[in-house]
Amino acid sequence: MGISVFHLFKRSTFTQFIFILLLSMTQSVNAGLFDANPFSEKGPLEVEKAFVFGQIQEGNRLNLYWDIPDNYYLYRDRIELKSGANTRILTRQNSPAEQKDDPLFGQVWVYHNRAEVNVDLASTSELNVDDTLTVTYQGCWEGGICYPPVTKEVAVVGIQPAPAQPETPTIDPDNTVAPDAGAAINATSTTPVVLSEQDQFAQMLSQGNLFVTLGAFFIAGLALSFTPCVFPMIPILSSIIAGQGQKVTAAKGLSLSVVYVLAVSVTYTLAGIFAGLFGENLQALFQNPWIISTFSFIFVLLSLSMFGFYELQLPNSVQSKLSQASNSQKGGTIAGVAIMGLLSALIVGPCMAAPLAGALIYIGQTGDPVLGGSALFSMSLGMGVPLILVGTSAGKLLPHAGLWMDKVKAVFGVLLLLLAIWMLDRIVPTVVTMWLTALVLIVSAVYLGVLSNSTKETAKLQLAKGLGIVILLYAIALMAGALAGGNSLIYPLKAFAGSSAQAPQTLAFIKVFTPEQLTAELADAHAKQQPVMLDFYADWCVACVELDVVTFSDPSVQQSLSAFKVIKVDVTKNDEPAKALNKTYNIIGPPALVFYDRSGQIMLHKTLIGVVEPSDFIDHIREI
């Protein structure tokens, strides 16, 4: 859990390639963080004034140009072109560039004063067409600030079909790639640079063998299955199978598990394709207090059904029709399991990891939902393997009838109650969930016989009573921690640690909610020549909480970040400011860590997506 998934593929052949820094992220990127003048009266300029962009079309040829004032420069290899659906790029030629010793990337090619790119286009049909060319570029101010990538939409009109024998796409003498249609990932670079983990997955999709790639994403999903992204789904699936009562069998458990996992996989895939194409995280949209409250209430109702207070089922007439349509059975219809899988994917475990982010980057850059979607589906199936094993085992091992079956259902009822409380923790203060959890655990401990004083206890009853005592002690710890002002279900007694040297410390994060607040904090860090770490966080993000508890609470990690200004970018509300922040840095969803060096330059190749172990994190930031 938390170990970099990409380490699983170090032996794969694709890691032997020289990776290219991907700075042409999807969609239009908001450069507003540097549009203002936060540092001094002399600079930097607004991005539109620093790189004055224009275009001239003559027939099928398009001339793109940038007028650049003194003390500013534009990266040649950051100029990316992507044709629309109606046209394709035949040739591309750059104006001569100059070499520069860049403090971040070493020897690179840049433009001063003016840059030009000439592009020959052709219609993809036999008709003259109008279309839009997407142009992305990035440059810097000599004063020490690099702007985020900027994306422009250029309208072209009357583009004619290519000649009967179209000329072959060429590479101009200035070592510039002539991209084909839809090739948003540049395959050549003057300087080998290390890509971020998610960009390496995107690179794999664009260059790797199809079956090897899908296999790698399946293994990545298998690794992700041992994280909090999947754990909450185990009691849900187990409760569905336990609800079969006397009809539960290994075959039934397997069939219900497969339906559940397929529903989760299809939902992840469709939501991922939507996010990649339109830049909108569907899972984030479902992290609404009303939706979470409703889903928690559903879990409470299901748990009460497990306790035997009532039996949840449709009217006989409706149940009969559904039975004919989907071969359903009371307690766990195929349609019901599929719906629960869909909702689980959207609401219960919204997680972001490097393989998922890589697939979304690929979909957004190339507009190819087939390969990207296939990778997402393969990864989702890998995440579902443990669920299928658990479901099948439950169908095999659960008792079929009698008192033991009632006891097992009661256990799953408790798990569903705890899952409902865990979901509420995203929208209510942790102290509330501490009290609710303690209440459920106390009742469970009593049920296990903690208060029993019988002298004729069997070994099984003694074991249950011992387990009840452990649960009761934890419940008491939760109540004590809540009374002392604690806010952790994992470390309930942390409030009693005082100021001793052994008390768990936390990083002094500065929390921001808007681009304006982030601009001010970045300006302050630049003035003090501090490196910066941005932690994109949301209360409903399970992996974000894990990152805080496992990684940022580690003393070695805190020591390695002692010179950094650490800023927590809170996107919990998923409102317009939050969306603007995500869009600026091309963040599909939290958790994500973005870094700036001491000179104020963003280090996109250092971006981390998902949870990372403390030792891996320390190695990762050592060069910043």
- The domain boundary residue, chosen from 495, 522, 551: 495
- In the DSSP assignment, the letter for residue 549 is I
Q: Which of 546, 538, 537 is nearest to 488 (CA)?
A: 546
At a CB cut-off of 8 Å and minimum separation 6, what does 66 contact?
A: 51, 52, 53, 54, 74, 111, 114, 115, 116, 137
Q: Which of 144, 111, 115 is nearest to 44 (CA)?
A: 144
Asked whether residue 540 falls in the same domain as residue 562, the answer is yes
At a CB cut-off of 8 Å and minimum separation 6, what does 127 contact?
A: 161
Asked whether residue 268 falls in the same domain as residue 388, the answer is yes
Backbone conformation region of residue 336, classed left if phi is above 0, alpha if psi is from -120 to 50, else beta: alpha
Is residue 365 within 8 A of residue 202, CB to CB? The reply is yes
CB atoms within 10 A of CB 326: 15
> Tokens at residue 340, please?
């629960």
- The domain boundary residue, chosen from 495, 526, 550: 495
Structural domains in the chain (count): 4
Alpha helices in 178-288 (DSSP H): 197-207, 210-224, 233-242, 250-278, 282-285
Is residue 306 within 8 A of residue 399, CB to CB? The reply is no
Asked if the structure places residue 522 within a domain, the reply is yes
Asked if the structure places residue 416 within a domain, the reply is yes
Asked if the structure places residue 381 within a domain, the reply is yes
Q: Please, what are the averages of pLDDT over each run of 10 residues along the chain (624 residues)?
A: 38 33 34 37 74 91 92 89 86 86 70 92 87 90 78 90 51 35 32 45 56 75 67 70 64 80 80 60 60 76 69 50 44 68 64 54 56 75 79 60 59 78 78 88 83 71 82 89 78 64 65 88 87 88 79 88 91 83 79 86 80 85 76
Asked if the structure places residue 372 within a domain, the reply is yes
Asked whether residue 387 falls in the same domain as residue 273, the answer is yes
Place of tokens 């207090």: 289
Rounded CA-CA distance 572/155 in Å is 36
Q: What pLDDT does residue 485 have?
A: 76
What are the angstrom distances between the C-alpha of 16 and each of 27, 304, 322, 355?
Answer: 30, 55, 54, 18
- The domain boundary residue, chosen from 422, 451, 469: 422
Asked whether residue 245 falls in the same domain as residue 370, the answer is yes
Amino acid letter for position 314 = L
Q: Is 48 exposed, middle or buried (0-12, 13-18, 19+ CB in 10 A)?
A: exposed
> Tokens at residue 139, please?
């440059």
Is residue 434 within 8 A of residue 485, CB to CB? The reply is no
Asked whether residue 96 falls in the same domain as residue 53, the answer is yes
Asked whether residue 400 falls in the same domain as residue 462, the answer is no
- In the DSSP assignment, the letter for residue 589 is S
Is residue 277 within 8 A of residue 368, CB to CB? The reply is no
Amino acid letter for position 74 = L
Rounded CA-CA distance 532/538 in Å is 19
Amino acid letter for position 145 = I
SS3 state at 198: helix
Report the CATH number at residue 114: 2.60.40.1250
Rounded CA-CA distance 98/387 in Å is 56
List the domain range (segments joined by +) for residue 433.
Answer: 429-495
Asked whether residue 397 falls in the same domain as residue 436, the answer is no
Asked whether residue 246 falls in the same domain as residue 342, the answer is yes
- In the DSSP assignment, the letter for residue 16 is G
Rounded CA-CA distance 392/249 in Å is 8
Is residue 92 within 8 A of residue 117, CB to CB? The reply is yes
Asked if the structure places residue 379 within a domain, the reply is yes
Mode of pairing for the β-strands spanning 114-123 and 61-67: antiparallel
Q: Which of 94, 104, 85, 79 is nearest to 24 (CA)?
A: 79
Backbone angles phi, psi at 286, to 5 degrees: -85, -5
Asked if the structure places residue 100 within a domain, the reply is yes
At a CB cut-off of 8 Å and minimum separation 6, what does 440 contact?
A: 414, 417, 418, 421
Rounded CA-CA distance 617/111 in Å is 35
Asked if the structure places residue 20 within a domain, the reply is no
Q: Which residues of 90-128 are buried (b: 16+ CB within 10 A; e: fewer)?
A: bbbbbbebeebebebbeebbbbbeebebbbbbbbbeeee
Asked whether residue 465 falls in the same domain as residue 574, the answer is no
First CA to last CA distance, the chain: 25
Asked if the structure places residue 587 within a domain, the reply is yes
Asked whether residue 445 falls in the same domain as residue 593, the answer is no
Rounded CA-CA distance 590/570 in Å is 9
Asked whether residue 354 falls in the same domain as residue 470, the answer is no
Asked whether residue 99 falls in the same domain as residue 76, the answer is yes
pTM score over 0.75:
no
